[in-house]
């Protein structure tokens, strides 16, 4: 009995090690593929975000998820709780951005609410939150348990993916770059916590969508 028990434990440890290596491999792929794409390719943003981003980010991720037999779960039955908390967090983001950048706003009517903007905001929210708050955090929690350290790791991973575009495409540097990276880290941690709290990535997507509308608008 003990022999079989130890064998099961050993199998679980090996499986977790393999998952950790695959997660690292996917992250390196994402850094290189998305970083190189945004650096070398110059297409209209709506094409890059609506067409290429879902393919580059999600195709290998969902292929991997199929091999994991649908784990980790991205959605559950807590739709109302997740949606409500996502709206609350999103409105907090929206209000905070308005407070920090009052000169860039002329009220809600001054925002450029185009279909392209809404499409970019929605696609970014869905793709990035499924990737990080959904899959990456889900696998980290699977490997290490639901620890605060996982949210910190998640925050740094999000910062790493967005660092090249902020430097080479947007040309940020100095305090402005640091401020954006701190903001990205904070949003990643909060959205990851939201997904963990509700066990549903829907709230994270809603919060990120409202945030993107505020930023792009």
User: What residue ranges do the domains of the chain occupy?
Assistant: 2-216
The more confidently predicted of residues 137 and 110 is: 137
Cα–Cα distance measured from residue 16 to residue 18, given in angstroms and rounded to the nearest whole number: 5
Confirm if 33 and 56 have CB atoms less than 8 A apart.
yes
Output the pLDDT for position 12. 45
Q: Is the pLDDT of residue 9 over 70?
A: no
**Averaged over 59-74, what is the pLDDT?**
84
Q: Is the pLDDT of residue 13 over 60?
A: no
Output the pLDDT for position 89. 97
Q: Is the pLDDT of residue 92 over 50?
A: yes
Cα–Cα distance measured from residue 189 to residue 182, given in angstroms and rounded to the nearest whole number: 11
Q: Is the pLDDT of residue 191 over 60?
A: yes
Confidence grade of residue 73 (pLDDT, cut at 50, 70, 90)? confident
Cα–Cα distance measured from residue 105 to residue 94, given in angstroms and rounded to the nearest whole number: 12
Output the pLDDT for position 203. 97
Output the pLDDT for position 152. 96
DSSP-assigned letter for residue 170: S
Looking up tokens 């094409």 gives 47
What is the pLDDT of the chain when averaged over all its residues?
Answer: 86
Q: Is the pLDDT of residue 3 over 50?
A: no
Confidence grade of residue 8 (pLDDT, cut at 50, 70, 90)? very low
- Please tell me whether residue 1 adopts helix, strand or coil conformation: coil
Confidence grade of residue 132 (pLDDT, cut at 50, 70, 90)? very high
Q: Could you tell me which residues come within 8 angstroms of residue 134 by beta carbon, excluding any fewer than 6 positions away?
A: 72, 74, 195, 201, 204
Q: Is the pLDDT of residue 69 over 80?
A: no
**Averaged over 56-80, what is the pLDDT?**
86
Looking up tokens 């980010």 gives 57
138-190, pLDDT tens digit by residue?
A: 999 988 888 999 999 999 999 999 998 898 888 889 999 999 999 999 999 99
Confidence grade of residue 26 (pLDDT, cut at 50, 70, 90)? very high
């Amino acid at each position: 009995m003990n022999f079989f028990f130890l064998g099961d434990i050993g199998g679980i440890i090996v499986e977790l090690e393999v998952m950790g290596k695959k997660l690292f491999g996917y992250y390196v792929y994402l850094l290189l593929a998305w970083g190189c794409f945004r650096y070398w390719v110059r297409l209209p943003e709506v094409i890059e975000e609506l067409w290429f981003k879902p393919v580059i980010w999600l195709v290998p991720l969902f292929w991997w998820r199929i091999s994991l037999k649908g784990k980790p779960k991205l959605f559950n039955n807590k739709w109302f709780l997740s949606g409500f908390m996502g709206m609350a967090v999103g409105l907090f983001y929206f209000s905070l951005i308005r407070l920090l950048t009052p000169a860039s706003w002329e009220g809600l009517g001054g925002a450029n609410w185009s279909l392209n903007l809404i499409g970019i905001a929605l696609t970014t929210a869905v793709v990035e939150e499924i990737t990080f708050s959904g899959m990456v955090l889900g696998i980290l929690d699977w490997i290490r348990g639901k620890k605060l350290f996982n949210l910190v790791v998640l925050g740094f991973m999000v910062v790493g993916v967005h660092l090249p575009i902020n430097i080479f495409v947007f040309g940020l540097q100095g305090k402005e770059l640091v401020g954006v990276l701190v903001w990205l880290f904070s949003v990643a941690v909060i959205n990851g916590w939201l997904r963990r709290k509700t066990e549903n990535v829907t709230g994270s997507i809603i919060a990120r969508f409202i945030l993107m509308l505020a930023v792009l608008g």
